[in-house]
Amino acid sequence: MSSTSKMRFKSDRALINSKFDGYKLQVFPDDTNVHRFALPNVLSLPKLATNSKMSYRELQARVKFNHLFPSHRKGLTFYVDSSYAVIAVEYDATSHRARYHSIVQLQAPLSDIPAYAEPDSSMPLLPQYPSLISISSDLLVASNGMGIIYLIQLGNDVGGNITGEIVSFASFPGDGTEGLTPVPCVLQAARLKGSEIDVITWSVASQQNEVPSHVSADAPTSKTLFNVTYLSYPVSVPSEESQSVQIITQHIQRGRDIPFYCEIDSEASGYVVGSSHAYNLVFTNEDVTMAEDPEPESTVDSSKPPSPYRWVQSSDDLTIIFQLPPNTPKTAISCSFDVRHLSLMVLNGDEPVISMPFRKLWDIIDSEGSTWTFESSTGLLTIELAKKNENVRWLHVFEQDDNVHEDLSPDQLEEIRARLEKFTGDAESKPMGVPGWSQPLQHPIATEMDDDIDHDGQNISLSWIDGSSGKVKAEVLAGGQEWISTSFPQPSVDRFPTVCLKMDVDGLVYSIEKADPISVNHIASFNALAFVQASKRDKRFIYHDPGNTFSIILEGSRNAYIYYRHEDGKRVTDVQTLVDLTQGHDIDVIGAQLIDERVVIVLLESSVVILDLNY
* Consecutive 10-residue averages of pLDDT for the chain (615 residues): 77 92 95 97 71 71 94 97 95 95 88 52 73 96 94 93 94 85 92 92 70 40 80 82 86 92 86 90 75 44 64 86 87 89 85 82 89 87 89 80 69 57 45 35 41 51 91 86 93 94 94 86 95 90 96 95 88 95 93 97 97 94
- How confident is the model at residue 434, as a pLDDT? 34
- For residues 250 and 230, give the distance between their C-alpha atoms in angstroms, rounded to a whole number: 6
CB contact at 8 A, 98 and 427: no
Other CB atoms within 10 Å distance of the CB of residue 452: 14
Query: Over the Cα atoms of the chain, what is R_g?
Result: 26
Q: Residues near 530 by Cβ (< 8 Å), separated by ≥ 6?
A: 482, 484, 502, 503, 504, 505, 506, 507
pLDDT value of residue 451: 40
Which ranges of 56-173 does DSSP label H, i.e. alpha helix?
Answer: 56-63
**CA dihedral (466, 469, 474, 475) positive or negative:** positive
Q: What are the Cα distances from residue 133, in Å, to 37, 83, 143, 511?
A: 24, 19, 9, 22
Tell how far CA 308 is from the center of its chain.
31
Sheet holding 97-105, edge to edge: 69-70, 76-80, 85-92, 97-105
CA-based torsion, 452, 457, 458, 463: positive or negative:
positive
| Contacts (Cβ under 8 Å, ≥6 apart) of 282 | 175, 227, 252, 253, 254, 297, 298
**Distance, CA of 608 to chain centre:** 21
Alpha-carbon distance 345 to 355, whole Å?
5
pLDDT at 15: 94
Q: CB neighbours of 95 closer than 8 A, spacing ≥ 6?
A: none
Which residues, other chains included, contact 307 with Cβ-Cβ below 8 Å and sequence gap of 6+?
Answer: 404
Rounded to whole angstroms, the Cα distance separating 63 from 556 reads 9
pTM for this structure?
0.74
